[in-house]
Structure 1
Amino acid sequence: MRRTGVFRAWKNNMGLGHHSHSHGPGSGHRSHTKRGTQQAHQHHDPADHVHHGARPATTRAMLVALILTVAFALVEAFTGWWSGSLALLSDAGHMVSDALSLGLGTLAVWIGKRPPTQRHSYGLQRAEIIAAALNGLLLLGVIGIISVEAFERITHPSPVHPFPVMGVAVLGMILNTLNGWMLSRMEKGLNTRALLIHVLGDFLGSLAALIAGFIIWQTGWMPIDPILSLVVAGLMLNSTFQILSESVHVLMEGVPKTVSLHEVGEQLAHTPGVIAVHDLHIWTLTSGMMALSAHLEVEALTNWPELLTLLRARLIHQHGIEQITLQPELRRPA
């Protein structure tokens, strides 16, 4: 088998053997010891560290934001249609996508509350990551629709009634400020960030509609409405790609950006008593929850319980990794 992530310690002055090993996704809950072998194995139950879902305030905030968003989207869509404002219509469409995103996010929070089972030993915490990815795709769709319609309006301008546009835009900014405040108080994670990007896009859309309405009122220049819609779509695009990139990175078991695989490997390998580290893997289970697995070649198993405790404490406090299983292996004779 090809070994990955190999780190070797060149100095060994204490002669102590220790090892730590962490399971990959889908590992079981129980600790196992196999007698008659030179392998010690310890697994820490995910239930010890997983927060079984978000705080009740998180779900309430998302439900309130969902109701307000749906109600205002209907008002904004009607006003945009009646006034002929693409900025309002595009923002109403974006708010409809927000409503879908909030519904999806609320569902993900509810699913994430479910405890680990025999079939899903880490629970369903990754529902948050999947929801963030789906929200990112939804945002891309909204940006595409807004852009196509904006180019159409630039080449074929249509009349816009500025006063209802400005009035609804101000209400939209107030609503999105309230939604942003409520969502910012939720537990942090990719799903929350995706929802906040939706809300920020709505706020900017309302601001664009307000500016467009004022300019049309003062100058009568109609193309400003679709031009500002394109500006808002462009501002949303970068943040959307970031959410999609991070979601895919987590789903592909990538090493978290906050942790250096090389640094962790070197730290483990240079612990007195460790000869080498191999099969080192670090990944994210869900936002704020990292896992690690590694095989350590050691000189002896004499102080294994104490060293396991030491290594685990270092990984938790220095790197924020809590789901840890470390497996010791005595070096085989050449």
Structure 2
Amino acid sequence: MSGHHHHHHSSKNKKSLIWAMVIIGSWMFIELIGGLLTGSLALLADAGHMFSDFFNLLISFLAIVFATKAATNKKTFGNHRLEILAALMNALMLIGVSVYIVLEAIERLASPTVVSSGPMMIIAIIGLVANIGALMVLSGKNTKENLNMRGAYLHVLGDTLGSVSAILASALIMAFQWYWADPLLSLLIAVLIALTSVRLLKETLHVLMEGTPSDIHIEELKKGLTAITGVVDVHDLHVWSLSSDVHNFSCHLVIDNTASVNHQRILKDVDRWVSDHFNIQNRTIQIESVDNFNCTAS
């Protein structure tokens, strides 16, 4: 049942990613040309952000396509980690984009460039509409649960703010000829990009370092396990993530020897308890009896 449930999610995610790519890809192109023609850095910054978005959506899409491929002898966990590597690459790219915009903006603040604000305004408004469309396509229950989809959503959200600030910049230029508003607001876009990408970077590194998933508390897990009848102690307890929605669990249980007849029952109880209380797909449990444990305990 869980397999089917997962599949349904991924096909739905795939569809929304494709739509978002179509919307964002086409406007990115328009914004890029518009930025070059109008001389607006805010538009170029937004186009850069949109490009990294587009790339991000593409990676998320490929990650879903590959993640469904079955495990092999060489890769016993299948390709779940691809999603995390994709998110990592993407975070690094975004940090690059933001650094570039900051440098460019500083240069322009020193010597403001004339920007044609009318066309800039029109293009920025179209960009905003496109982004809102993409946000609507991407928002949904599974976006919150999946790191990959959440990455995509956060990007488009940052993008939307980018379009808003480009509109604001063009309005200020129209009204007061404040040409410095353009580089200043593109700095704001850059900071936004940097913040989202650093957060994404932290989360992906946590997964790559086999960190405990944020929604699982080891202490609580330990308490629950030792409370199960027959379990004396728990050690070598590990919980880690393969991808944002696949978690692994392994532990050694020390079992009261008088209960030795019921090893299987205890194993079943523990497995059921873990699967009921936590969102963990792969569970490995090893049993030791008390007297063995006393010899081996160092």
- TM-score past 0.5 threshold: yes
Q: Any residues of structure 2 matched to 1:9-20 within 5 Å, and which? A: none
Residue 26 of structure 2 corresponds to residue 71 of structure 1: yes
Q: Distance in 2 between matches of 1:91 and 1:289?
A: 34
Aligned-partner residue type, residue 110 of structure 2: T
Higher RCO (CA 8 Å, separation ≥ 6 residues): 1
Q: Distance in 1 between matches of 2:5 and 2:87?
A: 19
Could you say if the C-alpha distance between residues 310 and 329 of structure 1 is closer, same or farther in structure 2, counting changes exceeding 3 Å?
same
Asked whether the equivalents of residues 131 and 160 of structure 2 are also in contact (C-alpha less than 8 Å), the reply is: yes
Q: Distance in 1 between matches of 2:104 and 2:15?
A: 35
Match of 2:184, SS?
helix
Q: Any residues of structure 2 matched to 1:225-264 within 5 Å, and which? A: 225-264=182-221
Q: Distance in 2 between matches of 1:183 and 1:62?
A: 7
Q: Which position in structure 2 is the counterpart of 1:21?
A: none
Aligned-partner residue type, residue 80 of structure 2: Q
Asked whether the equivalents of residues 28 and 47 of structure 2 are also in contact (C-alpha less than 8 Å), the reply is: yes
How far is 1:82 from its partner? 1.2
Could you say if the C-alpha distance between residues 180 and 68 of structure 1 is closer, same or farther in structure 2, counting changes exceeding 3 Å?
same
Residue 214 of structure 2 corresponds to residue 214 of structure 1: no
Q: Distance in 2 between matches of 1:65 and 1:50?
A: 23
Q: 1:275-314: per-residue Cα shift (whole Å, max 9, x none)? A: 2211111111211222111111112331222222222222
Aligned-partner residue type, residue 197 of structure 1: L
Q: Distance in 2 between matches of 1:273 and 1:325?
A: 18
Asked whether the equivalents of residues 73 and 96 of structure 1 are also in contact (C-alpha less than 8 Å), the reply is: yes
Alignment counterpart, residue 128 of structure 1, candidates 78, 83, 95: 83
Q: Distance in 1 between matches of 2:279 and 2:43?
A: 44
Q: Distance in 2 between matches of 1:276 and 1:283?
A: 21
Match of 1:55, SS?
helix
TM-score normalised by L of structure 2: 0.90
Asked whether the equivalents of residues 45 and 101 of structure 2 are also in contact (C-alpha less than 8 Å), the reply is: yes
Residue 238 of structure 2 corresponds to residue 274 of structure 1: no
Asked whether the equivalents of residues 58 and 186 of structure 1 are also in contact (C-alpha less than 8 Å), the reply is: no
How far is 1:49 from its partner? 9.0
Q: Distance in 2 between matches of 1:99 and 1:207?
A: 19
Aligned-partner residue type, residue 277 of structure 1: V
Q: Which position in structure 2 is the counterpart of 1:190?
A: 147
Match of 1:209, SS?
helix
How far is 1:186 from its partner? 7.5
Q: Distance in 2 between matches of 1:305 and 1:323?
A: 18
Residue 112 of structure 2 corresponds to residue 157 of structure 1: yes
How far is 1:203 from its partner? 0.9
How far is 1:233 from its partner? 1.7
Q: Which position in structure 2 is the counterpart of 1:97?
A: 52
Aligned-partner residue type, residue 253 of structure 1: E
How far is 1:50 from its partner? 9.1
TM-score normalised by L of structure 1: 0.81
Asked whether the equivalents of residues 88 and 169 of structure 1 are also in contact (C-alpha less than 8 Å), the reply is: yes
Q: Distance in 1 between matches of 2:128 and 2:3?
A: 42
Asked whether the equivalents of residues 54 and 113 of structure 1 are also in contact (C-alpha less than 8 Å), the reply is: no
How far is 1:53 from its partner? 8.3
- Number of paired residues? 288
Greater share of helix = 2
Q: Which position in structure 2 is the counterpart of 1:86?
A: 41
Q: Which position in structure 1 is the counterpart of 2:266?
A: 307
Q: Distance in 2 between matches of 1:286 and 1:221?
A: 47
Match of 1:292, SS?
strand
Q: Distance in 1 between matches of 2:282 and 2:4?
A: 8
| 5+ residue gaps, structure 2 | none
Residue 83 of structure 2 corresponds to residue 118 of structure 1: no
Report sequence identity in percent.
Answer: 35
Q: Distance in 1 between matches of 2:70 and 2:8?
A: 9
Q: Which position in structure 1 is the counterpart of 2:289?
A: 330
Asked whether the equivalents of residues 155 and 196 of structure 2 are also in contact (C-alpha less than 8 Å), the reply is: no
